[in-house]
Amino acid sequence: MSHKVTIPIGPYHSLQEEPEFYQLTVDGETVIDIDVRIGYVHRGIEKLAESMSYHKIIFLVERICGICSTSHPIASVQAIEDAGGIEVPDRALYIRTIVAELERLHSHMLWLGLAGHFLGYNTVWMWAWKYREIVCDLFEAITGSRQSYAMMKVGGVQRDIEDEYIPGLIKGMDDTLRALDMFKGAVLDDPVLGARLKGIGILSKEDALSYSALGPTSRASGVDKDVRRDDPYAAYDRVKWNVITQKEGDVFAKAVIRILEMYESVSIIKQCVQKMPKGSIDSNPKEIPPGEGIGHAEAPRGEVFHYIRSDGTNSPARYKVRAPTYMNFPTFKATVIGETISDATIILAAIDPCYCCTERKMTAVNQKTRKRSFTGDDMIKLSQEKTRRLYKRMTGKELR
Amino acid sequence: MTKDELLKKTKERFGDRIRNIFEKSYKRIYIDIDPKDLTDFVKFIFNESEARFNTASCVDMLDSMEILYHFSFAKASLVVSLRASLDKKSLVIESLTSIMKGAEWIEREIHELFGVEFKNHPNMRKLLLPDDWPEGLYPLRRDYKEEDYEIRKAEKEEGKS
């Protein structure tokens, strides 16, 4: 006899990037339905932006997300520059690229650490976050803050990267490269992780296209699309780099994409430092004429998209923001259903929806008795135990 | 597909049904269309031309409501926006969710924030607003006032007691 249980996950945690609520319906071990709800701390950024000057909007959109806090400002300044036909000095374009790629490094390492934790590989978690510190320290040195860097400005950047920071930046990239080699070996060649992650949570190419999924989520399913190459902004068309894709579409492919993308980021930053011309960093635009503008940028999770409508005053008549997770969330319907509950956590985490906080709010409730049967921590334990079992079966040793 | 190829094919296929093409810049094109032609255009641009659906933006123009559907293309440095203008008196347009699943959420959002009806949408529940939000009150419309929400909520409370 089948016994349906509904598991609510979410919605609140003040640290979450985009608070969300998942409701999993499970039959025994298997997930048979998933419902996602968002909007729990909808902050009305679009409405707020209509009451602010273009200059202030950049700071407002920087606060949409704490992790990709420079992707929204980049898309925003590009939308405003598009509306006003504003030119940006070359040096500013290179600085934008450096900041954006540093952000990708820190964001992907954050994800790698969390994924390790969910799987019970706590060493990966600790080491990934240890090496993320290098990137955060670099941010502190060149922008003044470890998060929310406030570097973007319509027509250029707020701050120059002084020459005295360049050697530190290059050394930081070399250190990161060594750490990446270690992660690549530890994750890609690990037979247990392979057995645990390959073949689960598969997003087919057809679904990725139909859902218009973005970033690593779609590139892991063989969709060769990346805004940095498809509609080059900043200095991405002046440096050599590759778009990383995988065919499999499972959780393992998404991990591979993120690890290999970090190599590209390091390479882009190094090239930018070398090629960066001297000169002005700001074209000091004065007015935005009536009209409309579109700006998009490839954030670590996928494309962010900003649209503005200007009426010639100093604040926009309409401001539209679309974050990448907005397009990636609905793919859960295609990836989670049919999988086991011990795999659900890592499949949900694979699109990188800033999952670190959701765990604290996960509870399983028996549909009939309304009693709590297991909590969010239990769900992570389920996931970790599965890895432990696999590890023991494959290596004959206990996982420490 | 390059910009010129796309423009040529679009003109061949739709001819008079294109109301206007505006090239804002080398990378940005806006095509004005009749709302009733929307699904034909989207089938052409999304299915045949292999575009990616970025999102849709709704703009309140006081006497009308504009919906822009943004699409971009691999390696083409191009964003094409289809602009459909709806009369405020009949805010109804065909849902695109059956053509591309990625349209489901944004249509739900526009429905609750602007009050546009999407015909044949499979799952028109609230997305961002709470379930007890007053019916017929659309917070991103130009004529929305915060007092309206307070008044409507107070009325509802009274009705209950």
CA angle A356, A357, A361 (to 5 degrees): 130
pLDDT in tens, B140-161: 999 988 888 888 888 888 877 6
By percentage, how much of chain B surpasses pLDDT 90?
71
Through-space distance between the first and last CA atoms of chain B, rounded to whole angstroms? 62
Mean pLDDT of the B19-38 span:
94
Which whole number is the average pLDDT over A381-392?
83
pLDDT number for residue A357: 28
Q: DSSP letters of A327-346? A: HHGGGHHHHTTTSBHHHHHH
Q: Which residue type is seen at A99? A: V
Give contacts of B126 with chain A, Cβ < 8 Å: 39
In the predicted model, is pLDDT for residue A368 greater than 60? no
Taking the alpha carbons of A329, A48, A80, B49 in that order, is the dihedral positive or negative?
positive
Q: Locate tokens 């989207």: which residue?
A: B42
Longest CA pairwise span in chain A (Å): 73
Per-residue model confidence (pLDDT) at position A15: 37
pTM reported for the whole predicted model = 0.90
Tokens of B148: 């309206």
Q: How far apart are CA B123 and CA A125, in angstroms?
A: 39
Q: Is A318 exposed, middle or buried (0-12, 13-18, 19+ CB in 10 A)?
A: buried
**Average of per-residue pLDDT values in chain A:** 86
* Per-residue pLDDT band at A235 (split at 50, 70, 90): very high
The 10s digit of each residue's pLDDT in B52-103 is: 999 999 999 989 999 999 999 988 899 999 999 999 999 999 999 999 999 9
CATH fold of B3-145: Beta Polymerase; domain 2 (3.30.460)
Give chain A positions within 8 Å (CB) of B68: 307
| Count of C-beta atoms within a 10 Å radius of residue B98 | 13
Residue of B nearest to A330 (CA): B102
SS3 content of chain A, % helix, strand, coil (to 5): 50, 15, 35
* ipTM of the complex model: 0.94
Instruction: Among A43-47, A59-63, A140-144, A203-207, name the one with the lowest average pLDDT.
Output: A43-47
d(CA A340, CA A27): 9
User: What's the number of CA atoms in the CB half-sphere (13 Å) around residue A330?
Assistant: 22
B52 neighbourhood in chain A, CB within 8 Å:
209, 212, 225
**pLDDT at position A260, please?**
96
The answer on pLDDT for A352 being more than 80 is no
> pLDDT-derived band of residue A244, with 50, 70 and 90 as boundaries?
very high
Question: B129: part of which helix (H) or strand (E)?
Answer: none
Q: What number is the average pLDDT over the span A226-231?
A: 94
The residue with greater pLDDT, A139 or A47, is A139
Answer whether A193's CB lies under 8 Å from A252's CB.
Answer: yes
Mind telling me how many Å the CA of A149 is from chain B's nearest CA? Answer: 26
Chain B: residue nearest A230 by CA?
Answer: B75
CB-based contact B53 A322, cutoff 8 Å = no
Any B CB within 8 A of A227 CB: yes
**How far A329 CA sits from the closest chain B CA (Å)?**
10
Which of A41-55, A270-284, B56-70 is least confident?
A: A41-55
Q: What residue spans define the domains of chain B?
A: 3-145
pLDDT of A373 reads 52
Distance of CA B122 to the CA centre of its chain: 16
How far is residue A103's CA from residue A101's CA, in Å, rounded to a whole number?
A: 5
* Best B60, B67, B72, B80 residue to mutate vs chain A (most A CBs within 10 Å): B72
Q: Which of B52, B57, B79 sits opposite A320 (nearest CB)?
A: B57
Structural domains of chain A in order of their starting residue, each with its CATH number: 4-41+329-395 (3.30.390), 45-326 (1.10.645.10)
In this predicted structure, the answer to whether residue A19 has a pLDDT above a threshold of 80 is no
Mean pLDDT of A44-64: 89
Q: If you average pLDDT over residues B107-124, what whole number do you get?
A: 94
Nearest beta carbon to residue A322 from set B25, B55, B127: B55
Report the sign of the C-alpha dihedral through residues B150, B151, B152, B154, in that order: positive
DSSP string, A235-288: TTTSS-------SS-SHHHHHHHHHHHHHHHHHHHHHHHHHPPPS-SB------
A362 falls in which pLDDT band (50, 70, 90)? very low
**Residues of chain A positioned with their CB less than 8 A from the CB of B129:** 39, 42
Residue A14: the pLDDT is 39
DSSP B134: P
Does A356 have pLDDT greater than 60?
Answer: no
What span, in angstroms and rounded, lies between the C-alpha atoms of A188 and A389? 19
Asked whether the predicted pLDDT for residue A372 surpasses 70, the reply is no
- Which whole number is the average pLDDT over A355-368? 38
CA distance A285 to chain B (A): 18
Q: Are A132 and A106 in contact (CB under 8 A)?
A: yes
Question: According to the model, what pLDDT value does residue A359 have?
Answer: 30
pLDDT in tens, A278-307: 999 999 998 899 999 999 999 999 999 999
Q: Band of the pLDDT at A17, cuts 50, 70, 90?
A: very low
Distance from CA of B142 to the nearest CA of A (A): 10
